[in-house]
Amino acid sequence: MLIQKRADFKMMPLIIVLSAVTINIIGAVVLKELAMRSGLSSVSLILGIALVIGLNGLRFVIWGVAHSRYPLNLTYPFTSLFFPLLLAVSYYYDEPLPWTKWVGTILITIGVFWLVWNREQ
């Protein structure tokens, strides 16, 4: 039972931070879509911006939960998960992605997991 609780403790910060990072990516996609569309009505533009502001408010609340329950040295490195998710979004939009971005993103991701799972308790 203790082992299960320890595993839950390690996974829950990841889930919380990944939620915040995903919301950040969704906001970036909404802004990109707004910027790419010409001839948007003022109402559509205002609604899109309001959506992004609302998403950032939700992200703020999620970060508050993460910081109130877990140490910063556990949760904050997970924000680097933004990079592989952003790379996937860039790929979706057919943006140029040289091999150096792929390698750098892989190294960052490996480094984050190395830091978090090998930290001293």
DSSP H helices in the chain: 2-36, 42-69, 72-75, 82-92, 99-117
CA gap 4, 18 in Å, rounded: 21
Burial of 17 (0-12, 13-18, 19+ CB in 10 A): buried
Q: What angle do CA 53, 59, 62 make, to 5 degrees?
A: 150
Q: Where are the domains of the chain?
A: 2-117
CB 34 within 8 A of CB 48: yes
List the chain pLDDT tens, one digit each, 121 residues. Answer: 445 555 555 678 888 988 999 999 999 999 999 999 888 899 999 999 999 999 999 999 999 999 898 888 888 888 888 889 999 999 999 999 999 999 999 998 888 888 777 665 4
